[in-house]
Structure 1
Amino acid sequence: MARLMPPAIVILGSGALATARRLQRCYPDARVHGLRSRFEVPGEAHVEAGADGVDIVYDELSAYLRELYASGTPIIALCAAGIVIRCVAPLLANKGAEPPVLAVAEDGSAVVPLLGGLAGVNVMAREIAQALDVPPAITTSGELRFGTCVLNPPHGYALASIEQGKRFVSDLLAGESTRIEGAAHWLDDAQLPRSGTARRAIRVTPLAWDGNADELVIHPRSVAVALADGDHENAAQRVRDALATRGLSPLALAAIVAPISCSGDATLAHAADALGVALRFAEAGVDAGASAPPVGDARPASSLPRALLEAALPAQCEIVDLSPGIALAVAATPIDPDTIGRARGRLTVIGLGPGSADLMVPAARQALAQATDILGYATYVEMAGPFRADQRVHPTDNREEMQRARHAFELASGGRRVVMVSSGDPGVFAMASAVLEALDTSSTSDAPHWADVELQIVPGVSAAMATAAQAGAPLGHDFCMLSLSDNLKPWAVIEARVALAAQADLVMAFYNPVSRARPWQLDKALDIVRESRAPETTVVLGRDIGRPGASLVSTTLGKLSSADVDMRTMVIIGSSTTRVFSTRSQSADGAPREWVYTPRWYR
């Protein structure tokens, strides 16, 4: 059984919240997801996580459960089983990888595993039932008869053929007996019909299955393959060929090991992905867990792979040299890739969006879930939580961008999975630029290993976009974004750009409009804009959009002053074509709903 993603605990109303929090103690990485209409006060952001709230809100149950299911997220839904079945039913026709799906009664009185028998749903059902002190409603025939799912081996093992496995279990249920060859500790207490002379056999072996219909073959992931430095264009096929020469199954492969000097080689990463295994890096003759800088290795390519395996794996492994430049090791038990050398470091720069958890893109949420280390301005890091006990948090002052970026690269170059947190979109007045500048200006002698870090920038919903969406579509035509902060550029440059944008009749989104240190700058910028724009020009003020206490106000350029704005306000100044109109529908305060938009045409 593969390691699972943290489950989503999905509830409809507050009546299930107490049970959800009990289940969260079983799965500390899990988040409680609640229906927005029942956990959000109109006009305010969703209730903060805690005893009286949820961690994430969603809009509509059916679509949300389908989204979770399609992403492979285990689902614990605290509602009627029939509701869950109807929600995910459209996805069941094309059966592929099936995450665990369970229905749990709101009061915790029943636990029903629905889907994911081969992904550990019955294991989860027993865990949840034990936490709630109720019996699980397991209906799987094999589990009821044998007390375990024979086709669901633990992490570190892989079933050779699921179709053959189903036939094998069907034969056992029909009265056939079996014997076990190899170490299958998880079956020690199973009530299997055993016989030392049985024709049917459960074999635990790294050797490839030969198609014998009387065998259920389970492969321990106990093989590692090492490659020398050099051309890795056909690395995946070379590994397959190496396994085949020894009669080993590709499903028994746990990891590919390569020299640290190859950690930036994309072809190796593609090979590992194609084989579905971990890619690890080590130095021959050096403690594989050390974070020493990459160095060249003078060994011949023929001996380097063996040296890598000797340095990275336990002494009792059998190591076989294959040519050219490849060696493999077979261990007696499954190999944990996390104990071999180190992974290629990863630095992911994400944007949290404007603050509401449901406006964070899924890729950012996934990066946070996979991170070993989280860096960022302390306020934003706190917004990104809660975090697991095994995750390290590095909050810093908002003015320490370059130091923060360098620290992130140092952590990632040591093999850690690092997330740099920004608010909004990381590429809009945020940390993506600082991270790239740190990489661009790093000296190859001071930080040669930074370039080998896997760097990814995940977009987010910027404050301008979030405010514009609340107002309607004021950015519907050409627009620009300007920061009025002169901390990083001269005020004269700001004045020139504001003047040119106003003359060009661009919609303008002002970031960092005022602060205690510079309360005069917004009024100065508005004076410049008023030289080119009419007093009745529409202005949108969005304060803390996506956060508790959010407010949205429409006014005009003639009425606007810096007293209406603070540092947490997004100021959007319309163009000459930007329009405002009201509808009969009402906003949260009972007033007619007002919409602002800029037409996509221009006269």
Structure 2
Amino acid sequence: MARLTPPAIVILGAGALETARRIQMLYAGCQVHALQGRVEADVPYTELRAHLCDLYARGTPIIALCAAGIVIRCVAPLLSNKGVEPPVLAVAEDGSAVVPLLGGLAGVNVMAREIAAALTVSPAITTSGELRFGTCVLNPPEGYALADIAQGKRFVSDLLAGESTRIEGEAPWLDDAQLPRSESARLAIRVTPRAWDGRDDELVIHPRSVVAAVTVPAAGEQSNTDTNTDSGANSSADRQTASGARIAAVVREALDAHGLAPLSLAALLVPSEHMANPALASAAANLNVPLRFAQPGPEDGEPPSNLLHAALRVPYQTLHDDADAGVALALAALAIDPHTIGRARGRLTVIGLGPGSADLMVPAARTALNEATDILGYETYVKMAGPLRADQRVHGTDNREEMQRARHAFELASTGRSVVMVSSGDPGVFAMAAAVLEALEEGASTNADWRAVQLAIVPGVSAAMATAAQAGAPLGHDFCMLSLSDNLKPWSIIEKRLRHAAEADLVMAFYNPISRARPCQLDKALDIVREFRAATTKVVLGRDIGRAGSTLRTIALGELRSSDVDMRTMVIVGSSTTRAFANGIDGGEWVYTPRWYE
């Protein structure tokens, strides 16, 4: 059983944190989720029921350190399809009990045994098949797939009723299982890539041992050409989906011609020069297999079988080689790890961490971090991105090495790795997204591998947005963001933009307002602003918003001095319409800019 998603360890109080950390060591990328305000952990949440339901709905395995009844009542409204539920376990706060609750077909009992072994207790497993046979027959390991779950349930029921079984094919994970075996048994567990014929006396398990190589001119590019003139395709995405469906249909026809089950397919293999073809990605998604790439040499024969010769690192038998159809099939003796076939398309994801608090990081950024093989960024920001897995490579650099960092990211991604570039705040606001795109524009003309990298930019909560939200809504009307740093642009440009923004009565958010190297520039900027704004204009100062020790202060423009600000302060200067009123909390104020002008 493959756990593609790291489990979430959910706790209610500080008493469970020690046990949670012990369990966390078992699973790469796993985080501890804690009730906000009660205990500091990796991910805060505000309401247990809503949080558990959200995790469950997203298919995240759940390890809840609380009473089993609490967990059951929380997720009960979502229980519908046993075949797709994630593993859900309840663990006593002190680690004295491990109770698997849901996800028997997703490996919950395997997790229960792993956790119980780490806590030196016995798991409270109640599944009849598990107790009788010592394993879940319906939960084969990674690289194998059950042909039919309904038939599987009937098969196990027959075994529990006293029937015996024989095993046909290689099933080493069952060697130590306490199955009732007999060479003359009516029932058989059959491990084969061949399609199941519907017999009710067999439990068929398919090893993912088939690779389909596809050549693009016959199965991909022609499909794209066909769909470009298809009036039924309303968009580029529709056309690529249609092309992908046709490629997948060709592969399924080849499998069917040789009596092979679609579930025996391990990967779709295509030429490296077509990495960026979205129709091929759509075809792999349609077939529910990884997409891998190879670059055959002249000694590898004619396409498409040359891809197989170039990419496969295991002995195999060519079953199907039809250049006209653009597909070739190879069958290995055992399940194939798709990571050993060619290479993946590299990915570079540029993310923003938000202002620093884990609960202000968008989920897509955390997902990218969890899936990354390599993480790059300014060392301080990389540390903020944790916790990270031990197998993830971290490339921390100085904050001034932006272009070198961006080029390094493309070099890593172009080898098939999954790379994340870390910024604070939003990556597109005075951060790494612009440097990454600049590096790509400069380097792509001479490096085709860079052009093939799958690039994505994930937005984040910027410092200005986080500060504004805490203050109220000072950015509620037209506003601009300005960096007062003259490292990358002359001060004369900054002065010109300040003057225009102040004259236009825009709310202004100042990034990089002051530093040791620029001690006078904030005062110069304020002098310009004061030419156009009243001394009573509201100014919001947010220091380290979203991090420990943050402070928020509202001050009048006429009272503001550069000594009130440092490099870690966000300065938001209101417009002529920005106003404030008491919020009733410790003498504080709500600051907002109305969405209208008089």
Give the match for residue 535 of structure 2. Answer: 535
In the alignment, structure 1 segments of 5+ residues that lack a partner are 40-46, 48-53, 286-296
Give the match for residue 571 of structure 2. Answer: 571
User: Which of 563, 581, 594 is the equivalent residue of 2:589?
Assistant: 594
Give the match for residue 244 of structure 1. Answer: 256
* TM-fit CA distance, 1:242: 1.1
Deviations 1:324-375 (Å, cap 9, x if unpaired)? Answer: 2321110111100111111000000000000011111111111111111111
User: Which of 158, 162, 165 is the equivalent residue of 2:145?
Assistant: 158
The question of whether the paired residues in 2 share the 8 Å contact of 1:4 and 1:74 is answered with no
Is 1:273 equivalent to 2:260 in the alignment? no
**CA-atom RMSD in angstroms:** 1.6
Give the match for residue 398 of structure 1. Answer: 399
User: Which of 110, 115, 121 is the equivalent residue of 2:108?
Assistant: 121
Give the match for residue 551 of structure 1. Answer: 551
* TM-fit CA distance, 1:96: 5.9
Counting matched residue pairs gives 571
CA distance in 2 between partners of 1:299 and 1:212 (Å): 41
Give the match for residue 312 of structure 2. Answer: 313
Summarize the alignment of residues 252-331 of structure 1 with structure 2, pairs less than 5 Å apart.
Answer: 252-285=264-297, 303-314=302-313, 316-320=315-319, 321-324=321-324, 325-331=326-332
SS state at 1:118 partner? helix
Is 1:235 equivalent to 2:278 in the alignment? no
* TM-fit CA distance, 1:16: 0.8
SS state at 1:304 partner? coil
The question of whether the paired residues in 1 share the 8 Å contact of 2:193 and 2:264 is answered with yes
The question of whether the paired residues in 2 share the 8 Å contact of 1:80 and 1:103 is answered with yes
Is 1:184 equivalent to 2:196 in the alignment? no
* TM-fit CA distance, 1:311: 2.2
Give the match for residue 425 of structure 2. Answer: 424
Summarize the alignment of residues 74-473 of structure 1 with structure 2, pairs less than 5 Å apart.
Answer: 74-93=61-80, 97-230=84-217, 231-232=219-220, 233=243, 234-285=246-297, 303-314=302-313, 316-320=315-319, 321-324=321-324, 325-445=326-446, 447-473=447-473
The question of whether the paired residues in 2 share the 8 Å contact of 1:242 and 1:322 is answered with no
* TM-fit CA distance, 1:443: 4.8
The percentage of aligned residue pairs carrying the same residue is 73
* TM-fit CA distance, 1:581: 0.9
Give the match for residue 491 of structure 1. Answer: 491
- State the 4+ residue runs in structure 1 displaced beyond 4 angstroms: 297-300
CA distance in 1 between partners of 2:255 and 2:7 (Å): 35
Give the match for residue 231 of structure 2. Answer: none
The question of whether the paired residues in 1 share the 8 Å contact of 2:308 and 2:330 is answered with yes
* TM-fit CA distance, 1:299: 8.1
SS state at 2:38 partner? helix
SS state at 1:343 partner? coil
SS state at 1:526 partner? helix
Q: So what's the TM-score if we normalise by structure 2?
A: 0.93
CA distance in 1 between partners of 2:59 and 2:295 (Å): 35
CA distance in 1 between partners of 2:59 and 2:97 (Å): 24
The question of whether the paired residues in 2 share the 8 Å contact of 1:322 and 1:328 is answered with no
CA distance in 1 between partners of 2:195 and 2:175 (Å): 24
Instruction: Tell me which amino acid in the other structure corresponds to 2:591.
Output: V
Deviations 1:48-103 (Å, cap 9, x if unpaired)? Answer: xxxxxx22222221111122212222111111111111222222146662111100
Instruction: Tell me which amino acid in the other structure corresponds to 1:161.
Output: D
* TM-fit CA distance, 1:298: 10
* TM-fit CA distance, 1:118: 0.7
Instruction: Call closer, same or farther: CA 1:93–1:602 in 2, change over 3 Å.
Output: farther
* TM-fit CA distance, 1:28: 4.4
* TM-fit CA distance, 1:461: 0.6
The question of whether the paired residues in 1 share the 8 Å contact of 2:314 and 2:332 is answered with no
Give the match for residue 50 of structure 2. Answer: 63
The question of whether the paired residues in 1 share the 8 Å contact of 2:300 and 2:307 is answered with no
Instruction: Call closer, same or farther: CA 1:218–1:96 in 2, change over 3 Å.
Output: closer
* TM-fit CA distance, 1:189: 1.8
CA distance in 2 between partners of 1:298 and 1:440 (Å): 35
Which is richer in helix? 2
Give the match for residue 477 of structure 2. Answer: 477
